[in-house]
Amino acid sequence: MQLYEEFDDKRVITGIGCALYYKNDAGKFSLFVPLETVPSIASNPESIEFDVTTSSTKGKVEGKITLDEKETDVYNHRDNMKRIKSFAGKTLEFLKVLPDYSAEKFTGTVSITSQDSTSANPEKATMKITPKSFEGFIENCYDLIQPTCHFVSPVDSVIYLDSANKEATYKATLELLPADGTVSATSKTPAVATATCTGGNLVITPVAKGSCIIELTASKEECASWTTTILAIVK
């Protein structure tokens, strides 16, 4: 007879595909921000010891679960900083989703702090999650999730335009996933530069010297939207 029973675990998965989702205004859960590490906030229940005179052994029962504050790295750029700061002070509902669509559900608040900068590493910030409640394991979260319409083509974070040459516009072709999504372009300071996007073709036109933020929002029916930004500097 064998000394052990051979029993492999064929369901082992990596963290690739794990994500942090939050409940959005549509009542569905969509991607919060891309993360290097997706945190779990609940630890094992504490043990409470009991002792009765009619037993020769001491026993233990499960006590309360401790909810741990977690810090995780995010890439520090304008979009992530703006997005996370927009949720500051709000209690959010989160799902930590695994690739097999099982999940952990919890609520909490978020904050973000920049890390030190070095020339040899990407810019990073620390996102802190302060938990308020842990609502447990979800066997199947697929129907709770809403995909996000997002940009797959690179988008410049800063562009330069010439106020003396209004014909020298900035042009770019924006690709999305899903591909049939649409992009809306809004200039926060149209007196400096204007922006339009038709059929994925972005055009930014200089108006006067200065700088302004151009907001680009990718959207599609039944998907969550995603916004990225361009700083337009008009010289």
Residues forming a β-bridge with 230: 214
Residue 38 maps to which CATH number? 2.30.110
Cα angle at 162 between 160 and 167, to 5 degrees? 115
Q: How far is CA 189 from CA 161, 170, 183, 197, 212, in A?
A: 14, 16, 19, 16, 5
Co-location of 117 and 103 in the same domain = yes
Residue 174 lies in a domain: yes
Co-location of 216 and 140 in the same domain = no
- End residue of a domain, out of 99, 127, 144: 144
Residue 2 lies in a domain: no
For residue 106, give its domain range: 19-49+60-144
Burial class (CB in 10 A: 0-12, 13-18, 19+), 96: buried
Which residues fall within 8 angstroms of residue 123, CB to CB, at 6 or more apart? 75, 76, 77, 114, 115, 117
Residue 73 lies in a domain: yes
Structural domains in the chain (count) = 2
Q: What's the average model confidence in pLDDT over 149-170?
A: 94
Which residues fall within 8 angstroms of residue 2, CB to CB, at 6 or more apart? none
Co-location of 44 and 132 in the same domain = yes
- End residue of a domain, out of 111, 126, 144: 144
pLDDT at 102 (0 to 100): 97
Co-location of 133 and 105 in the same domain = yes
Co-location of 127 and 166 in the same domain = no
pLDDT at 232 (0 to 100): 98
Co-location of 102 and 85 in the same domain = yes
Q: What is the DSSP letter of 147?
A: -
What the block records as the tokens of 22 is 């939050």
Residue 54 lies in a domain: no
Question: What is the chain's Cα-based Rg?
Answer: 24
Residue 225 lies in a domain: yes
Q: What's the average model confidence in pLDDT over 158-185?
A: 95
Residue 165 lies in a domain: yes
Co-location of 131 and 194 in the same domain = no
Residue 200 maps to which CATH number? 2.60.40.1080
- End residue of a domain, out of 110, 144, 178: 144
Residue 8 lies in a domain: no
Co-location of 24 and 128 in the same domain = yes
Which residues fall within 8 angstroms of residue 163, CB to CB, at 6 or more apart? 206, 207, 208, 209, 234, 235
Q: How far apart are CA 50 and CA 61, in angstroms?
A: 8
Co-location of 154 and 140 in the same domain = no
Residue 74 lies in a domain: yes
Q: How far apart are CA 41 and CA 133, in angstroms?
A: 9
Q: How far is CA 191 from CA 14, 90, 185, 212, 218, in A?
A: 50, 33, 15, 9, 24
pLDDT at 197 over 80: yes
Co-location of 85 and 157 in the same domain = no
Q: What is the DSSP letter of 148?
A: B
Q: How far apart are CA 174 and CA 97, in angstroms?
A: 29
User: Each residue of 30-64: pLDDT tens digit?
Assistant: 999 999 999 998 877 888 998 999 999 999 998 88
Q: What's the average model confidence in pLDDT over 134-143?
A: 95
Q: How far apart are CA 141 and CA 39, in angstroms?
A: 17
Q: Are 117 and 89 in contact (CB under 8 A)?
A: no
Q: What's the average model confidence in pLDDT over 181-202?
A: 97
Share the mean pLDDT of the chain.
94
Co-location of 39 and 126 in the same domain = yes
- pLDDT band with cut points at 50, 70 and 90 for residue 1: low
